[in-house]
Amino acid sequence: MRDALKSYLENKFDSNSFFITNDLGYNVLDKIAEKNKKNFVNIGICEQSAIGFASGVSDYFKNTFVYSIGNFLTIRALEQIRNDICYHNKNITMISVGAGFSYSKYGYSHYCIEDAGLVGSLPNVDVFTPFDSYTLLKCLEHCEQSKKPNYIRIGNIIENLERKVKYSKNIFGINRMKKNNKTNKCVISIGRVSGFVNRLIENKLCNHYILLSNNNTKSLNTIIKKYKHVCIVDEQVERLSIVNNFHAEPNKITKIAISNNNSYEEIGSNEFLINKYMKLEKQINNFLKL
Amino acid sequence: MQITHLKNTCKNIRENILKLSFKAKTGHIASNLSVVEIVFTVLYQKYHEKDKIEFILSKGHASIAYFSCLLNFKKITNKQLGTIFQNNSKFGGHVTSNISEIIFSTGSLGHGLPYAAGLSYALNLKKSKSKVIVVISDGELNEGTTWETFLIASHHKLKNLCVIIDNNKFQALGRTKNILDMGNLKKKILSFGADVEETDGHDILKIKKFINKKTSSFKVLIAHTIKGAGIEFMEDKLLWHYKSMSQEDLDDATRDLRTL
C-alpha cells in the first residue's frame, strides 16, 4: 500500500497541496519532498504541533496532509485533532501507517489498535481502513474531494484480495468476496484484517463482506438484515470498536475485536497477535459451526 | 490618535469586562484584565490602522477581554454580547471561532501558537504581506507545543510571526516561578533564534512599536503585565483567577478603576 500512496502523491501532489510529515516516510515521501520543497515540510517529531500547524496551513491550501505512525499521530495529538481539525471542520487528511498490529514485532508502543475508535468518535471526521492498494487510492481520491477532515489508516497487507473481491463503487459501500446464495451466514470485516478472515472462510459456506470505513454502521445494518448469523471483525480494541454499536440480537451477531484486558506485552507475527488478542481463528471456527 | 484617548478606551474596555464578568458570574477576571492593552493594540492596528493582521488569542480564557475589544471596534454588537454565558449563546468563557472576526477557537493551552505558525508558513508561501499575531499566556510556556513551535518558527524563518506573551506571572495554582520557573525567559527564547524584547505590557505605544518592528526572524514580546491590572484590590492576586464578583465587588471595582 505504501507504493500506492507514493504513486498517488507523485502523480497528484501539486501547488494546491501541502504535506506535513513527522519525520517518517522513508522511501515513500522522498520524491515529493524533493520536488516540492516549499509545500512539503518534515516538521520534526512533534505530532501535537504538527496538527496545529496543519490546521493553520489548511486555511490556504486545497489539500493538506499530515503523516505519521497511527498511535503517535492520533493518541498523542488527540486533543489537537479534536479541537484544531475536527471542531473547526478543516479540510485535512491525516494518513497513518501501522494500522492494527502491522508493527507486530515492534511492541505495543507501535500498535494502532485504539486510533480508529478514538478518532471516529470525534465530529466531522471519517475514518478509513483500506485493505489493498486499490481501496487506498479510492480513499485518497475521496478525501481529495471531500473538503472535511478524514483519517486514513494504512497497514500491512495480509493477503492480496485484489483478484477475488468485487469492489463497491462507493467508498462507503460494501465490498464483497464471491457470494453464495445458499448460506445464511456472513462475516463482515473492516479493513486489512479482511485478508486473515478470507483465509479462514474462503472455502466455507459463508459470505464475506469488507468495509473500509470504521464508522459505517449504515452499510453494516444493510448486510445484517439479510442474514441469520453475522460475524463482525474489527482490528480495534473492543471498547472502541464498531462491534460495540450492535447490542441488539446478541444471538445473531458474533463480535470479534481485540480484547481490552491485556497489556499486549508479547510480540509476534501479525497472525500470532491477531489470534492471541482477538482469538480470530477460534471464534471464526465456532461461528462457522452455528 | 492621542495616547490619552487610547488609555481611556482601555479603561472603558476594562469597565465592560467587569460588567460582563459580573453578568456571567464568571471567574478569570484578572486574566482578562492583564491582557487588555495587548489585545486592544493588536486590534487597533488591524481595524484602525488597517494593517493586514491575522490575530489569534491563544489564552482563550481571556475571551471577555477579546469580546470587549471587538465591541469597541464595532465588530460585534452590544445585543450579541448581551447573550454572554446564556443558553445558546456563542459568547462563552473561552474563545470560539463561530463569532465574526475570530479565526481560531482556543481554550486548551498550547494550541494557538502551532496554528499561528502554520498560518504564517502558508501566508509566506502565498507571498502575503499579512502578519500573524498570537497572544499566549505565560502559563502556556509550560506546554511542550510552545517550545516545539519556537523551534519550527526558527527553522522555517517565520518572520511574519509575532508572539506576545502576556507575562502576568501567574498560572492556575500560583506564581509561575514557584510552579515551573522559566528562569531567564528572554535568554531562553533568544536561544531559539527569535527576536525578543521585553516591555511593559500595559504600554500601548511600546506594544505598537514592537508589532511594527521589522525582523529577520520570528519575534517574541515578553509583555510584563499585572494580573488584575487596573483595579487595585484585584491586582497581583490569584484569588481573582477564580472568584466571581458580588454586587459589592463590582461597585468597588468600578469605583477603583484606574487608567494605566
Query: What confidence tens digit (pLDDT) does each residue in A12-69 have?
Result: 999 999 999 999 999 999 999 999 999 999 999 999 999 999 999 999 999 999 999 9
pLDDT for res B1:
66
- What is the reported pLDDT for B150? 98
Q: What is the mean predicted confidence (pLDDT) over B66-72?
A: 98
Nearest to A52 among B114, B122, B126 (CB): B114
Q: Do residues A114 and A71 touch, judged by C-beta distance below 8 A?
A: yes
Tell me what the pLDDT averaged over chain B comes to: 96
On the question of pLDDT at A158 being above 90, the answer is no
Q: What is the mean pLDDT of residues A149-158?
A: 94
The model's confidence at residue A82, banded by pLDDT at 50, 70 and 90, is: very high
For the segment B6-21, the average pLDDT, to the nearest whole number, is: 97
Rounded distance between C-alpha atoms, residue A109 and residue B169, angstroms? 38
Report d(CA B125, CA A154) in Å as an integer: 30
Cβ pair A44:B144 closer than 8 A: no
pLDDT at A215: 75
Reported as a single tens digit per residue, the pLDDT across A167-196 is: 999 888 999 998 999 999 999 999 999 999
Q: B-side interface with A, Cβ within 8 Å?
A: 97, 103-105, 107-108, 110-111, 113-123, 125-126, 144-145, 148-149, 151-152, 155-156
State how far the Cα of B154 lies from the Cα of B146, in Å rounded to an integer.
Answer: 12
Q: What is the pLDDT of residue B190?
A: 98
> If you average pLDDT over residues B12-20, what whole number do you get?
97
Which strands make up the sheet holding A126-128, listed edge to edge? A40-42, A17-21, A63-69, A92-97, A150-154, A126-128
Residue B206 pLDDT = 98
Query: For residue B98, which residues of chain A lie inside 8 Å, CB to CB?
Result: none
Instruction: Kindly report, residue by residue over A86-135, the tens digit of the pLDDT.
Output: 999 999 999 999 999 999 999 999 999 999 999 999 999 999 999 999 99
What cell does A92 get?
Answer: 485535512
Determine contact, residues A96/A68, Cβ cutoff 8 Å: yes
Report which residue type is found at B205.
Answer: L
Three-class SS of residue A85?
Answer: helix
Give me the pLDDT at residue A246, please. 83
The pTM assigned to this predicted structure is 0.95
pLDDT band at residue B98 using 50, 70 and 90 as cut-offs:
confident
- Measured in angstroms, the CA of A37 and the nearest CA of chain B are apart by 11
CA A112/CA A101 separation, integer angstroms? 7
> What's the pLDDT at A261?
82
Q: State residue B215 phi and psi, 5-degree precision.
A: -135, 165
CA atoms within 13 A on the CB side of A142: 22
Q: What whole-number distance in Å separates Cα of residue A290 and Cα of residue B241?
A: 63
Say if the Cβ atoms of A48 and B114 lie within 8 Å.
yes
Task: Determine the residue type at B239.
Answer: L
Alpha helices in chain A (DSSP H): 2-12, 30-35, 47-57, 70-74, 78-80, 115-120, 133-146, 194-201, 217-226, 270-278, 280-288
- Rounded mean pLDDT, B70-79: 97
Q: What are the angstrom distances between the C-alpha of B148 and each of A43, A53, A67, A200?
A: 10, 11, 17, 47
- Chain A interface mutation, best of B97, B99, B121, highest count of A Cβ atoms under 10 Å: B121
**Burial profile A26-37: b = 16 or more Cβ within 10 angstroms, e = fewer:** eebbeebbeebe
pLDDT above 70 covers what percent of chain A? 100
B212-256: per-residue pLDDT in tens?
999 999 999 999 999 999 999 999 999 999 999 999 999 999 999
Selected residue of B90, B134, B148 to mutate for chain A interface (largest A Cβ count, 10 A): B148
Q: What is the mean pLDDT of residues B103-131?
A: 97
Angstroms from B40 CA to nearest CA on chain A:
23
Dihedral (C-alpha) A36, A38, A42, A48: value to the nearest 10 degrees? -130
pLDDT, position B62: 98
A275: which residues sit within 8 A by CB, 6+ positions away? A281, A282
Q: Do B103 and A59 touch (CB under 8 A)?
A: yes
The Cα B8–Cα B239 span in angstroms is: 26
B54, B164, B57, B59: which is closest to B119 by C-alpha?
B54
Q: What is the pLDDT of residue B63?
A: 97
d(CA B167, CA B137): 6
* B117/A39 CB distance under 8 A: no
Mutate to test the interface with B, among A19, A53, A57 (most CBs of B within 10 A): A53
Please give the pLDDT value at position A277. Answer: 97
Does an H or E element contain B164, and which? strand B161-167
**How far apart are the C-alpha atoms of B159 and B153, rounded to whole Å?**
8
At B119 the pLDDT is 98
Cα–Cα nearest to A230, from A245, A240, A213, A215: A245
